[in-house]
Structure 1
Amino acid sequence: METTLQHQNRLHYAEVYVSDIFELKNLFLQRFGLDKINESFGIPFLVIKKDSKMEAFASLIIDQNNQIGFEIYEISDLKLNEKEDFKIKANNYFKRNTSEDFRNPEQLKSSIQELINGLNV
């Protein structure tokens, strides 16, 4: 009897590291057809990879009510269940984190502006 091995693309969730920022910036710019990043880029904090390729990332943002939230930016098309799973993981990470950027809107605004200024040089 023959056995067929099926290669399954596994998703990997990881915190965003400084070394990821330039790749995320470039993917964000390409995805939205921009020349420079803006406040919508936020502060990326969680990424989903498939075979070491970035698929989506979650980023801290300030919403229209001046509250801290997060946005998920898809770089490639994920399946509905993959999107939902990533949203749950990002939300859990968001709730657990106690650093100033996750809890203080003024600190987050400042951090976002510093990141934008540094990346748009």
Structure 2
Amino acid sequence: METFVQNKAQLVYAEAYISDMTSLKNIFLQTQTLKKLNPNFGVPFLLAKKKEEIAAFASLVMNEKGQIAFKIYENSLSNAEKRDFTQRAENYFKKNNTPNFRNPEQLKSSISRMIGWLEIG
């Protein structure tokens, strides 16, 4: 009997940087079937990579109650990977005390600036 070793691609988690924004914008537009960014893009703060390619990101957004929340955008994660990434993002979200994570007005301003900057580029 032969045994096959499966080499599963391991997810690597990292903070989102400015250099990642073009890739994150593309994931958002593809998964939302949009041609232009909207406030739901938010302010990305965490990403997941498979090999060297970004597979998902977590972004700070304003929910319908006007509270700060986060949303996951992904295009190639399994259900188990989605759960793991969501848990990582939730932990990061709970521990971070910077203004974008705690001040709704600051986050609204940051989202507006982020979208404006990305739509120019």
* TM-score between both structures, scaled by the size of structure 1: 0.91
Pairs within 5 Å for 1:20-35: 20-35=20-35
In structure 2, distance between residues paired with 1:116 and 1:98: 23
Deviates more, 1:64-73 or 1:5-14: 5-14
Q: What code does the residue aligned with 2:95 have? A: R
Tell me by how many angstroms 1:30 deviates. Answer: 2.1
CA contact (8 A) 1:54 1:75 kept: no
Deviant stretches of 4+, over 3 Å? 2-6
Given residue 61 of structure 1, which amino acid in structure 2 is its aligned partner? Answer: V
| Alignment-derived partner of residue 118 in structure 1 | 117
Q: Which runs of 5+ in 2 are unaligned?
A: none
Alignment coverage as a number of residue pairs: 119
Could you say if the C-alpha distance between residues 3 and 65 of structure 1 is closer, same or farther in structure 2, counting changes exceeding 3 Å?
closer
For the residue of structure 2 that corresponds to 1:120, the secondary structure is helix
- The superposition leaves residues 48-99 of structure 1 with CA deviations (integer Å, 9 ceiling, x where unpaired) of 11111111110000001000000001122x2221111111100000011111
Q: Paired residue for 1:80?
A: 79
Is 1:17 equivalent to 2:17 in the alignment? yes
- Aligned residues of 2:27 and 2:74 also touching (Cα < 8 A): no
CA distance in 1, matches of 2:110, 2:75: 23
Please say if residues 27 and 73 of structure 2, whose CA atoms lie closer than 8 Å, have aligned partners that are also in contact: no
CA distance in 1, matches of 2:87, 2:16: 17
Shift of 1:3: 8.8
1:4 deviates by 6.7
TM-superposed CA distance for 1:27, in Å, is 1.9
Q: Determine whether 1:53 maps to 2:53.
A: yes
